[in-house]
Structure 1
Amino acid sequence: MQPLKYRLANASDVESLVALINQAYRTTTGASWTSEQDIVAGDRINHQQLLDSLNQQNFSLFVAEMVEDLESALVACIGLTFQQNAVEIGTFCVHSRWQNQGIGKHVLKYAEKKALEELPSLTHYEMFVLDARTELIQYYERCGYSKTACVESYPIDANVGQPLIDLKLQHMTKSVIKEM
């Protein structure tokens, strides 16, 4: 795997990020294993939602690029929403062409490290995963996350797609281990 180059997303990235996120979450192509296409209909995100997120003071969206033949290819993104002593990880996806190559694990580790740099008082990471996505929950468990007792309703009013089956959001958390 070629090294990834990380940077903060900006408004000029919105069009390509919307395409990346919707492709990763809502289609089954290439080596994709993260698609929600059979359980959620409609786009995962639109331009305005992404712009609104980028304008939030407590939110950072990082993009991961790979340089191929002198061209930068957008391969992944991950969002961090900072709270008091926690950070919620979301808007996390890897383009289906690049899945199953360990990129997601690198991107997640980068985001966890970056969150701790930004918020040294950080005690834990958290995320919400669709409960029907058992393979994704198992992936995060292998990355050190644990399911909590918190299960929330699918956010139908958030305009992130319409569930095709009964869905809930499973809360997961991971304690921060600070190096000495």
Structure 2
Amino acid sequence: MEQMTPSRLATPADAEEIAALVNRAYRPAACERTWTHEADLIAGERIAVEQVRTLFRPQSRVLLQCRASAILACVHLEIVGAVAHIGMLATRPDVQAQGLGKHMLAQAERHAHQYFRVESFEISVLTARTELLSFYERRGYVRTGRRLPYPADSGTGQPLREDIELELLSKTAHRNLYAKVVDGRHPA
């Protein structure tokens, strides 16, 4: 991965670019589809600009990775008690497969632990996305078996299949793992 400016917190002024990035990553045009897309499972936009704007409130953060002024990746954190709910992890399709998703996930975990002292992390993943479930398992997340219906009425698109649902994955926050970032890289 080439040299980039460090991660930063998003502001409401970034909402339009974040929505465009997330929609491009999750529901890209056929020519941009990578292993992370879900366009064959869910139709429509993943998120609207107005929905992104609602994320700027206490106990909620959107972290960004930028090159110059362009946003390359984002991740959302929602803190509920001692749990950080991680979502909207997205990397621009043209820079995927360079470790940026792993980097952003680690940054989100470190940020949640450092600033909110969370005890665990949770993420929900489409059960049909077995390769994505494996991605999170390789990063220490455990499948809980807890399944949730797809929130079709939340403005995140419409399922193209009737069996679309989410599974909750969790991970315990280990104090020593999130203690330090060396040379801009997470130690794990």
Both structures adopt the same fold (TM-score exceeding 0.5) = yes
1:50-88 CA-to-partner distances (Å, cap 9, x unmatched) read 11122x322100111124xxxx32110001000111100
Contact persistence 1:33–1:99 (CA under 8 A)? no
Shift, 1:31, TM fit: 6.7
Matches within 5 A, 1:121-160: 122-160=118-156
**Aligned residues: percent identity?**
36
In the superposition, the TM-score normalised over structure 2's length comes to 0.88
In structure 2, C-alpha distance between the alignment counterparts of 1:96 and 1:76, rounded to whole Å: 10
1:9-30 CA-to-partner distances (Å, cap 9, x unmatched) read 1111111111101000001444
Contact persistence 1:85–1:124 (CA under 8 A)? yes
- Residue type at the aligned position of 1:2: E
Matches within 5 A, 1:15-26: 15-26=16-27
1:22-54 CA-to-partner distances (Å, cap 9, x unmatched) read 000001444721111100000000011111122
In the superposition, relative to structure 1, how do residues 31 and 42 fare at CA in structure 2: closer, same or farther (>3 Å)? closer
Any unmatched runs of 5+ in structure 2? Answer: 180-188
Q: Which residue of 1 aligns with 2:165?
A: 168
- Residue type at the aligned position of 2:38: E
In structure 1, C-alpha distance between the alignment counterparts of 2:142 and 2:25, rounded to whole Å: 24
Contact persistence 1:152–1:169 (CA under 8 A)? yes
CA RMSD of aligned residues (A): 1.4
In the superposition, the TM-score normalised over structure 1's length comes to 0.92
In structure 1, C-alpha distance between the alignment counterparts of 2:103 and 2:39, rounded to whole Å: 25
Q: Which residue of 1 aligns with 2:98?
A: 101
Any unmatched runs of 5+ in structure 1? Answer: none
Q: Which residue of 1 aligns with 2:186?
A: none
In structure 1, C-alpha distance between the alignment counterparts of 2:64 and 2:24, rounded to whole Å: 15
Decide which of 40, 45, 64 is 1:38's aligned counterpart.
40
In structure 2, C-alpha distance between the alignment counterparts of 1:42 and 1:30, rounded to whole Å: 16
Contact persistence 1:32–1:97 (CA under 8 A)? no
Matched, 1:50 2:78: no
